[in-house]
Amino acid sequence: MDGKVLAITGGASGIGLAIAEAALAEGWRAAVADRDAVALERARGRLDPARASFTALDVTDEDAMEAWIVGAAASCRLAGAVAAAGIAADVPALDTPADLFRRILEVNVTGTFLLARSAGRVMRDAGGGAVLLIASVSGLRGAKGRAAYGASKAAVVNLAQVMALEGAAHGIRVNALCPGPVETPLVARLHGPETRAQWLRHLPMRRYAAPEEITPMALFLLDERKSGYLTGQAIAVDGGYAAAGLMTPGN
C-alpha cells in the first residue's frame, strides 16, 4: 500500500476539483471520477497526473461505481471519499416535471448513496475511513425553486446521519458539508442576475464563496487526526445564510 487515496465524484469541476487539488497539496493521492470526459481532461492538466487518476463514470451506475472504488483502493489505502457530483435546477415546485424531480434525486441521492456504500464497504474491511457528502444549505432551509434540489440535499443530510451511526462500529465517519452559494460552473449556469441579487440580499456576508473557501472544512472533516470524534454532522459553510433571520436592510 502506497499512501492514502481520496476518491472524489464530480471531481472534474467546481467544488470537487478544488477539494482534489487541496487534498493533493496535503499529501493525499486522488482518484477523480466524473461523467464529463472533457472536464476530466481539463482536470488532468490541473492536477499532478503522477498522484491522481481520472475515471469517466456516471455516479448512478452501480457496477461502474463499485469497480472504480475497488480499483482506487487496490494500491493505496482508501482513507477518504467525497461525493461532490450533483445537478441542480431552479424551477417552482408546481412547475417541476416528475422526470426532472426523479433525475435530480437519482444523481444527488442515489449517486451519493452508491459512492458512500462502495467506499464504506472497502473502509469497513480496511478498518475505517472518512466519507464526506456534499449537501447544501438548500437541504437545511427551504429556498424557492428548489423542490427537487432541496429535497435531494435534505436526503443527503439524513443519509450522512444514518451511515455515520452504522459506520461508527467500523471506524467509518460520515459527515455532510452544506455550502452556501459558491462560484462554480454549475452556479454560472444556474444563477442569473435576478437569482444572484436574491441570494446576496439573504446572505449576511453579502457575497458568494470561492471553491477554495469550502476546501479547508472538507479536508478537516476527512482528516482523522483533526476530526476523529466528529461524525454524523451537517456543517454549513455559507457566509451566515443558515443562521440568518430578520436582517436590517444595510446589514
Ligand X SMILES: NC(=O)c1ccc[n+]([C@@H]2O[C@H](COP(=O)([O-])OP(=O)(O)OC[C@H]3O[C@@H](n4cnc5c(N)ncnc54)[C@H](O)[C@@H]3O)[C@@H](O)[C@H]2O)c1
Residues that bind ligand X (CB under 6 A): 9-10, 12-16, 34-36, 39, 58-60, 84-88, 107, 111, 134, 136, 179, 181-182, 184-187
Between CA 87 and CA 66 the distance in angstroms is 21
Residue 79 beta carbon to ligand X: minimum distance, rounded to whole angstroms: 21
Between CA 217 and CA 184 the distance in angstroms is 17
User: By C-beta, is 77 or 84 nearer to ligand X?
Assistant: 84
Residue 129 pairs with which residues in a beta bridge? 172
Q: Is 229 a catalytic residue?
A: no
Residue 225 beta carbon to ligand X: minimum distance, rounded to whole angstroms: 25
Give the active site residue among 149, 208, 229, 241.
149
Between CA 12 and CA 202 the distance in angstroms is 30
Between CA 34 and CA 66 the distance in angstroms is 14
User: By C-beta, is 161 or 224 nearer to ligand X?
Assistant: 161
User: By C-beta, is 10 or 145 nearer to ligand X?
Assistant: 10
Residue 171 beta carbon to ligand X: minimum distance, rounded to whole angstroms: 26
Cell matching residue 155: 436526503
Between CA 203 and CA 237 the distance in angstroms is 12
Between CA 169 and CA 124 the distance in angstroms is 9
User: By C-beta, is 8 or 79 nearer to ligand X?
Assistant: 8
The answer for residues whose C-beta is within 8 angstroms of residue 85's C-beta and 6 or more apart is 9, 10, 16, 33, 34, 35, 59, 107, 111, 112, 115
Residue 77 pairs with which residues in a beta bridge? 4
Residue 83 beta carbon to ligand X: minimum distance, rounded to whole angstroms: 7
What proportions of the chain, in percent to the nearest 5, are helix, strand and coil?
Answer: 50, 20, 30
Residue 9 beta carbon to ligand X: minimum distance, rounded to whole angstroms: 6
Residue 91 pairs with which residues in a beta bridge? 146
Whether the Cβ atoms of residue 55 and residue 18 lie closer than 8 Å to each other: no
Residues recognised as catalytic? 149
